[in-house]
Amino acid sequence: MKPLGAGDPIRLGPYRVLGVLGEGGMGKVYFGRDDSGRTAAVKVLLPELAHDPHLAQRFLREAHTARAVTSGGVARVLDAQTEDTGNRPWIATEFLSGPTLDDAVRQYGPLGSDGVRALAASLAATLRDIHAVGLVHRDLKPANIVLTSAGPRIIDFGIARPEHGLTLTTTGQVPVTPGYGAPEQVLGQRVGPAADVFSLGAVLAYAATGRRAYDGTHVAAVQYEVVHGQPELDSVPPELRVLIAPCLAKDPAHRPTPDQMAGAFAPPPGADRVWRTGPLAKDIERRGSEAVRQATVIAGDSGTGPSRRRLLRTGLVAGGVLAASGGTAGAWWLLREEPRVIPPAGQESYAEALSLLYGDHGTAPRELWGPLPVAAQAVDGVVTTPLPVLDVVVFAAKGGGLAARLTTDGKEKWRLPGVRPAAGLVALPGHLFVTAGDDGELRCFEGSTSRQVWSVQGADTGRILAADASAVYLVTRGGKLRAVDTAGRKVRWTVPLAETAVRAPGPRAATGKGMLVFFGADGDVLAFDTATGRTVWRLSGQAKSAVQPLVVDDVVFLGGRSLQALNVGTGVEVWDNKWNKNTSSEEPQQGAGGWGPAALQDRYVLAMDGTSLSQVPRDSGLAFPTRRSVPGPIPHTPPVVEGRTVWFVEADGRGVSAHSTIDRGRFWTWSPESRGPWGLSSAGYRVFLVNDGKLTAMPTIG
C-alpha cells in the first residue's frame, strides 16, 4: 500500500481514505475505512476521465453488474456512488488482502499441478455463478484474480455485459487484454459465456508455467495468434495440458462449460494449501496485517485532532439562484450574527454529508491540521501562495527559505535555505517546482525531496510569473520580461517592459495555446508569443492594478473594470460582462476595483465583483450573484475550486469562505483572529491556507 499523495481524496462517501492500493489506466483504488471500522477497496475514475460519458457509463455499469453477482468467488460490493450528483463516481468492495495471481506467479513462480487444479475448480464455480445471472465477465486475466486465504476472488467487472441482447461491435471497440481475450472478442463478434472459459484456460496456462499461452511483444501479433495460431502449452504438465487445451478452442461451441471444468479439474484434498501455507500464504497474511495496522494507526490519530473552527451559517433572500435545499429561488449571503455551527442533520438536508467531513451533527468540520506557525509573513503586502507538489505542500518558511509539510498530516518533510520564495513558487511537470536563489539564479527542485534538478545562473530572476511545459517566464531584477527554456537551461528571449508594469505589488501572468498573457501592475494586458517574445495583442486600462488572468483552452478570462473573455491568440472579445440592470439587481462596486481574478468550475467562471461571488457561464458571460460578501476592495487571490467546494477570500480580508457547489447557497467562513493577506491553493480534496505566518489544511467536499 502506498501513502496518499497531494492529488488523492481524503474521504469518499462514508469511507476515510487511508492509502493507495493500486492504479490503472481508468481509475485508482484506495484503501478506506468507515466509522464502524469496516475496511474496503474504493475505486474511483481518474479525474481527467470522469467527464467522458463512455468511460463514466462503463464505470457505473461495473457497480451494477458486480452487485448482481452473489457468488463468494467475487469481491462483494459494499456501497457505491453512481448517481449523477456532480461527484466523481466510486465503488466500494470488500478489501481483499492478497496479491493478484499475476503478482504471485511473478514473485513465487508457477502454482504447481495441485494448485492449478484448486485454482481452476474455484474459478470455474465462480464463472458458473456469474453466468447464472446472465453476465459475461469478458476480462478474466491474472491481474483480475486476487489470491486470499479463503481462495481466489475475481474482481473488475468494468466491461462485463449481459449475455443476451449483445450487439455486434467493430473490431477494436471492446477492450480485449492481449492473449486472454477469446477469438470472438478480438474479431468483435457476439460474446457469450464461452469467452470466459477461453480466458480461464489462458489464465490456467499462465498459472502452471509462468508464461502466457499466447506470448509476444506486439499486440497485433498476439491477437493474430489468438485468432489463427495455436497456444504454447508445451511447458504445461501433461495432466493439465489435456484439460486446458479444450478451453482454448477457436470455436466457442467446442469449449467445455464451467460446470464441466469444475468436475474435470477437481483437486485432491489439501490442494488449496498453495494459498494457505508457504511463502504465498505469508504474503497474504502480511498484506492483511499491514492494512489493519495502517487503518488502526490513522484512525487513532483522528481522535486527537486540533481545535475546531466554527463556521458561519447562511440565510435566504430574494434573488436569482435556485437553492437545492428547498427548491426556492434565492441568493444567499453571510449573516454574521447567526450561530457559528452547521445545523443538525434533521433540520438541513446537506448537514449529514458535511458532518462526515471530520465533524459531528450540529458541529462544523475542523482543520485537517494546523494552524501551524511555520510560514513567512507577507512581503510588501503579498503572501507566497503555498504549492502542493505530489505528497507535500511547499511554502515560504518562517525564518527564510522554503519548507515542505506532508499534505496528509502536516509533518515537516524538508527545509531548503538559500532561496528567495518571495520571488515566486511555480510548479513544473514531473512533480517539480522552480523558485529563485538569493543571487537571482533560477533553480528547479524535486517536490518530495527538495533535490535540486537544474539551475540557470544567468536568469537574473526578480519575480517568477508562470511556466508551461517548455519554459519559465519571469521578470528580471532589472524589470524585463524573460523566458527561460527548461530543456536547454538557457534564456529563450527577453523583452523590455514599462516601469509602471512591474511596480509593487507586481504583475501577474498565465500561459496557454502558445501565448503568455501578462497583466501589468499598471492595469494593461499584453499577450506574447511564447516561442519568440513577440507582442501579439494589447488591452489598455483593464484595471487599476494587476489581476491574475485565467487561460482555459483558447480563451483568457480577465478581471478588472469588467469580467472579460478574449480569444487568447488574437485578443478578440468573446464576451464582456459589464453590469446590466436586467441581469443584476445591484451595480458592482466599480470604484472598489471591479472584478477580481477568475477561477473555473465545470462550465462556469467564478469571480468576486466587490460585493458578490458571481457564477458566470463560460460561454455566455451572463453573471448570476451566488453569494453576498462584505463590500470592499477586490482580493488579489483567485477563488480556489477543489472537489465540489469553492473557497475565496472575504473582501474585507477577515476570513476565507467556502461555497458548496452541490448545495447552492451553503457557505461557511473560516475566521482566524488575525487579518491581512491570504495565500490559497488546493489539491487532493484539501485546501491549504497561509495567513499571518500560519499554515493550515482544510477538508473539502469531494
DSSP per position, 344-402: PTTT-TTHHHHHTTT--TTS----SEEEETTBPPPBTTBPPPPEEETTEEEEEBTTSSE
Q: E-strand spans in 295-347?
A: 314-322, 329-334
Q: Is position 547 within any domain?
A: no
**Cα 64 vs. chain centroid, distance in angstroms?**
23
Peptide bond into 496 cis (omega under 30): no
pLDDT computed for residue 175 by the predictor: 59
User: Rounded distance, CA 92 to CA 62, Å?
Assistant: 11
Q: Is position 83 within any domain?
A: yes
- Structure confidence by residue, pLDDT tens digits, 371-413: 999 999 887 777 899 999 888 999 999 999 999 999 888 999 9
Q: Is position 206 within any domain?
A: yes
Residue that finishes a domain, picked among 55, 76, 95: 95
- Domain shared by 149 and 32, yes or no: no
Q: Is position 119 within any domain?
A: yes
- Domain shared by 77 and 130, yes or no: no
The answer to whether 120 and 128 are in contact (CB under 8 A) is no
pLDDT computed for residue 20 by the predictor: 87
Q: Is position 235 within any domain?
A: yes
Q: Is the torsion defined by CA of 626, 577, 507, 416 positive or negative?
A: positive
- Structure confidence by residue, pLDDT tens digits, 173-215: 445 789 999 999 999 888 899 999 999 999 999 999 999 999 9
Q: Is position 635 within any domain?
A: no
**CB within 8 Å of 271: residues ≥ 6 apart:** 114, 115, 117, 118
- Domain shared by 216 and 261, yes or no: yes
**Residues marked as catalytic:** 139
Q: Could you tell me if residue 26 is left (phi over 0), alpha (psi between -120 and 50 degrees) or otherwise beta? A: alpha
Alpha helices in 399-526 (DSSP H): none
Q: Is position 629 within any domain?
A: no
For residue 562, give the amino acid letter: S
pLDDT computed for residue 625 by the predictor: 52
State which residues of the chain have pLDDT below 70.
6, 24-25, 47-58, 60-63, 65-66, 82-87, 157-175, 272, 274, 289-365, 578-593, 610-611, 621-635, 643-644, 651-653, 660-668, 672-675, 701-702
pLDDT computed for residue 537 by the predictor: 98
- Which residue in 458, 460, 459, 428 sits closest to 444, CA to CA? 428
Determine the 3-state secondary structure of 685 from DSSP: coil
- Domain shared by 142 and 257, yes or no: yes
Q: Is position 125 within any domain?
A: yes
The range of the structural domain enclosing residue 244 comes to 101-279
- Domain shared by 132 and 266, yes or no: yes
- Domain shared by 52 and 108, yes or no: no
pTM above 0.75, yes or no: no
- Domain shared by 226 and 145, yes or no: yes
Q: Assign residue 125 the CATH number of its domain.
A: 1.10.510.10
Q: DSSP character for 3? A: P
Residue that finishes a domain, picked among 251, 279, 307: 279
pLDDT computed for residue 567 by the predictor: 96
What share of the chain has pLDDT > 90, as a percent? 42
- Domain shared by 59 and 180, yes or no: no
pLDDT computed for residue 166 by the predictor: 35
Residue that finishes a domain, picked among 95, 117, 133: 95
Q: What is the DSSP string of 5-37?
A: -TTS-SEETTEEEEEEEEE-SSEEEEEEE-TTS
**CB within 8 Å of 468: residues ≥ 6 apart:** 511, 512, 530
User: Rounded distance, CA 7 to CA 388, Å?
Assistant: 9
Q: E-strand spans in 610-655?
A: 612-617, 624-628, 640-642, 645-649
Half-sphere exposure (CA, 13 Å, Cβ side) for 572?
Answer: 3
- Domain shared by 79 and 178, yes or no: no
The answer to whether 396 and 405 are in contact (CB under 8 A) is no
Query: How many separate domains does the chain show?
Result: 2
Q: Assign residue 89 the CATH number of its domain.
A: 3.30.200.20
